[in-house]
Amino acid sequence: MGLILEMEGKELFAKYGIPLSKSKLVKNEKDAKLAAEELGLPVAIKAQVLSGGRGKRGLIKIAKSQEEVVNFSLDILKMTDTKSNKPVTHLLIEEAAEIKQEIFISMIFDSHTLETLVLFSMEGGVDIEELAKTNPDAIETIRVPFGKDVYGYTFMNILAKRGMKGTNKIVTANIISTMVKMMRLEDLSLCEINPLVITKNNEVIALDARVIVDDNAIFKHPNREKFLSQELRYTSAEKEAKDADLSYVNLGGEIGMLSVGAGLGMATADLIAEFGGSPLNFLDVGGGAGEEKVLKALEIMVKDKGLKSILINAFGGITRLDQVAEGIISARNKLNLQIPLIIRLMGTNQKEGIKILENQGLQAFEEMEPAIQAAVEAAKGVN
C-alpha cells in the first residue's frame, strides 16, 4: 500500500468534484512568493511529504505577508520529515480559509469483511485515535457493504443527528458518498479529509487529503507511476535496488546489512539494535542469490551516506555460499572497499565459501551473534 502526497490526493478529489481551495505546487521560496501573489494572502505553506501529523512538526505554516511566505518556505525546505526520513523538496501554497467548523471524514477498506468502514466526526483537525479514547461518542461509524451503491441521501439522517443543516448537510453528504465511490473506482485503501471545513462564507472545502492507494492495482491506473510520490518514496539507492529486483530500505543507521532471506534480515536488524548498533538499511538479496546479485547489492549499499561497517549474513539453503563469497570478493575488488567487512556464512557450500574468503584474506564467522557484535564494534571504531 502506498501513501500519496496531499496534492495528488487532491487531484483525485478534483476529478470527482470534491470542493477544494486554490493551490500551487512549488520547489523554492521564489516560486512560493509568486504563488502567494497569484492566490492572495494569507496562504498556507504545506510540506508535501509522505506522512501525517505535519502541523505538529512545523511542516505547515500560515503566512500573512510576503516576507513570511519567503521565510516560512525557506525554513520548511531545510527540514527533513522525521517520519519518512526524507528531506522536504516540494511545497503546496494554498489559499488560507476562514474556518467556522472543522469536520473529520475517513474511510478504510476492511479486507476481512470487504466493507468500506466510514468514520465521521464534527470534531475535525484532531488526532482521531486520541478522540476515540477520550470521546468515542463523537465518532460516527458506518459500514458500507462491498459493491453497494451509495448516494448523498444515505448519510443525511446521520449528519442531521450530528447537528448539520441545510446546504452544508447536503454538500457534506455528497462528499461522503463520493469518497465511498472513489474507494472502489480508484482502488484506495484509505481516503481521509481532516479537516473538511465550513468557512465563514458558508462554503464546504476539503483542506487536506490523506489517500493510500493499493499498489497492487497500479496496472489499472498507469498514470500513478508518474506520481511525484513514487519518486519521493525512495532514496536513489532504493530506486536502483527496485530496478535490480532487490529489497532495499534505508533505515538511517551506520551498519550496512546484507542478508540472504527477509526473515534473516529482520532478525539481524533486531540483534544489531540489541548490541547497541543501528542498521543503515534493510537489504535482502533473496534465496538463490548468485555472484552478480551480491555484487550489485553491495554496489547499491556503499552509495548510501553514513556507512561505517558492512555486515553480510548469509544462510544458504538454495543459495550456494561459494557463489556468495565470489560476489563479495568481486565487490571488494571492484569497489575498492575500505570499510570494515564482517561476514557470516552458514549452509550450502559453507566450507567452500569460507575457503574462498580466507584465500583473499577475509574471515567468515559461522555463528550469527559474534558476527553482529563485530560489525557493531567496527562501526564504533573498536578494533
Q: ω into residue 195 within 30 of 0, thus cis?
A: yes
Percent with pLDDT over 70 in the chain: 98
What is the distance of C-alpha 313 from the center of its chain? 27
pLDDT at 373: 95
Of 89-93, 241-245, 300-304, the one with minimum mean pLDDT is: 241-245
Domain count within the chain: 3
pTM listed for this prediction: 0.74
Q: Are residues 228 and 238 in the same domain?
A: no
The answer, yes or no, to whether residue 139 has pLDDT greater than 90, is yes
Q: ω into residue 42 within 30 of 0, thus cis?
A: yes
pLDDT at 305: 82
What DSSP designation does 225 have?
A: G
pLDDT at 241: 84
Q: What is the pLDDT of residues 174-188, one digit of tens each?
A: 999 999 999 999 999
- Residue ending a domain, choose from 199, 218, 233: 233
> In this structure, are strands 281-284 and 115-121 parallel, antiparallel, or unpaired?
unpaired
For the residues 202-220, what does the mean pLDDT come to?
Answer: 94
Range of the domain at 30: 22-96
The answer, yes or no, to whether residue 383 has pLDDT greater than 70, is no
pLDDT at 131: 83
Q: Are residues 276 and 325 in the same domain?
A: yes
Q: How far apart are CA 237 and CA 253, in angstroms?
A: 14
Q: What DSSP line would sit under 94-116, residue for residue?
A: EE---EEEEEEEEEEEETTTTEE
Q: Are residues 165 and 266 in the same domain?
A: no
Q: Are residues 13 and 148 in the same domain?
A: yes
The answer, yes or no, to whether residue 216 has pLDDT greater than 90, is no
For the residues 136-148, what does the mean pLDDT come to?
Answer: 91
The CATH number of residue 347's host domain is: 3.40.50.261
Q: Are residues 61 and 111 in the same domain?
A: no
Q: At 214, phi and psi to the nearest 5?
A: -85, 105
Q: What DSSP line would sit under 309-362, residue for residue?
A: EEEEEEEESSS-HHHHHHHHHHHHHHHT--S-EEEEEEETTHHHHHHHHHHTT-
What DSSP designation does 27 have?
A: S
Q: Are residues 210 and 226 in the same domain?
A: yes
- Residue ending a domain, choose from 79, 96, 113: 96
**302 sits in which H/E element:** none
Q: What is the pLDDT of residues 246-290, one digit of tens each?
A: 888 888 899 999 998 778 899 999 999 999 999 999 988 876 667
pLDDT at 86: 83
pLDDT band at 50 (very low <50, low <70, confident <90, very high): very high
pLDDT at 221: 94
pLDDT at 289: 65
Question: Cell 468500506 sits at which residue?
Answer: 116
pLDDT at 318: 82
For the residues 193-214, what does the mean pLDDT come to?
Answer: 96
> CA dist 24 to 129, 188, 209, Å?
31, 25, 15
Q: Are residues 198 and 242 in the same domain?
A: no
pLDDT at 1: 58
Q: Are residues 55 and 156 in the same domain?
A: no
**Dihedral angle of Cα 119, 125, 131, 134, to the nearest 10 degrees:** -150
What is the rounded average pLDDT for all residues in the chain? 92
Q: To 5 degrees, how large is the angle CA 357–CA 360–CA 361?
A: 90
Residue type at position 242: K
For the residues 161-186, what does the mean pLDDT come to?
Answer: 96
> In this structure, are strands 80-81 and 60-63 parallel, antiparallel, or unpaired?
unpaired
Q: What DSSP line would sit under 130-177, residue for residue?
A: HHHHH-GGGEEEEEE-TT----GGGGHHHHHHTT--HHHHHHHHHHHH
Q: What is the pLDDT of residues 2-38, one digit of tens each?
A: 899 999 999 999 999 999 999 999 999 999 999 999 9
Q: How far apart are CA 43 and CA 35, in angstroms?
A: 9
For the residues 147-171, what does the mean pLDDT come to?
Answer: 93
The answer, yes or no, to whether residue 169 has pLDDT greater than 70, is yes
- Residue ending a domain, choose from 202, 233, 264: 233
Q: Are residues 267 and 127 in the same domain?
A: no
The CATH number of residue 72's host domain is: 3.30.1490.20
Q: Are residues 206 and 107 in the same domain?
A: yes
Q: Are residues 130 and 190 in the same domain?
A: yes
The answer, yes or no, to whether residue 302 has pLDDT greater than 70, is yes
The answer, yes or no, to whether residue 198 has pLDDT greater than 90, is yes
pLDDT at 270: 94
What DSSP designation does 15 have?
A: H
For the residues 203-211, what does the mean pLDDT come to?
Answer: 97
The answer, yes or no, to whether residue 356 has pLDDT greater than 90, is yes
The CATH number of residue 110's host domain is: 3.30.470.20
pLDDT at 111: 86
More confident call, 229 vs 86: 229
Q: What is the pLDDT of residues 88-123, one digit of tens each?
A: 999 999 999 999 999 999 999 998 899 999 999 998
For the residues 193-198, what does the mean pLDDT come to?
Answer: 96
What lies within 8 Å, CB to CB, of 203 at 6+ separation is 19
Q: How far apart are CA 52 and CA 210, in angstroms?
A: 8
pLDDT at 288: 63
More confident call, 316 vs 5: 5
Q: Are residues 257 and 323 in the same domain?
A: yes
pLDDT at 326: 92
Neighbours of 99 (CB within 10 A): 15
Neighbours of 76 (CB within 10 A): 22
